[in-house]
Structure 1
Amino acid sequence: MVDSTNMIAARLERDVPGAEIRVDDALVALSSLFASLVVARREMSDVPPIKGQATIHRLAKAQLALVGVSADIMRIHGDVAEMGAEVAGYDLHDCPKKTGRLTTPPASAGS
């Protein structure tokens, strides 16, 4: 039981921050696309600006949705930390800092 709990904890320790980083990466990608679309709309003199407005609006909604996803993932992170403290007695009040990169899972984490 202890080995199983440790494996689950190691997997979550890897996967939760990984999900946070991937959502942030998606936000960066959408932000870059947003800037490119606005510049393209401005610089394409032969296309009326209204043509790109719906696309830009949809992209803004997608960005906002990802901001919501990011907030939910952060809440999940807190929930998982609380569960670890309750179930396994882990003291997870100081979560690891984001490094902007994924790390290799511990050998005991399994798949």
Structure 2
Amino acid sequence: METLLMGRRCCYVLCLIFIYYSQQSSCATIEVGGPVGWTNYDTSTNKPPDYATWVSSQSVVVDDILVFKFPPGYHNVYSLPTQAAYTSCDQSKATELNDGKTGSYSWTTTKAGTY
């Protein structure tokens, strides 16, 4: 069942890998995806959200809080151990961070680097 839940959502959740951090601390709270949130469909444009554009406009630093908001029960959040696991969508060693029942997940950035 977990594999089914992780399948398609794996690519969405893991676009977080492309957010870069500086070493400066600002403690901002950033809603991932902006007003659209974390979803498969943007009702304001009648198409999938453009997360690549959203990510390229963000400046995320250590200690910022990323908030993922989504309809309860439609998404979940997993962490993959390596870039190679992400690239191949190898979920065998993934760690579930949130089961999606609450409709949101918050993550505090902890170190500089690429995620």
TM-score (norm 1): 0.29
Answer 1 or 2: which has greater helix percent: 1
Which structure's relative contact order is higher, taking Cα pairs within 8 Å and 6+ residues apart? 1
Larger radius of gyration: 1
Q: Determine which structure has the larger strand proportion and give its number.
A: 2
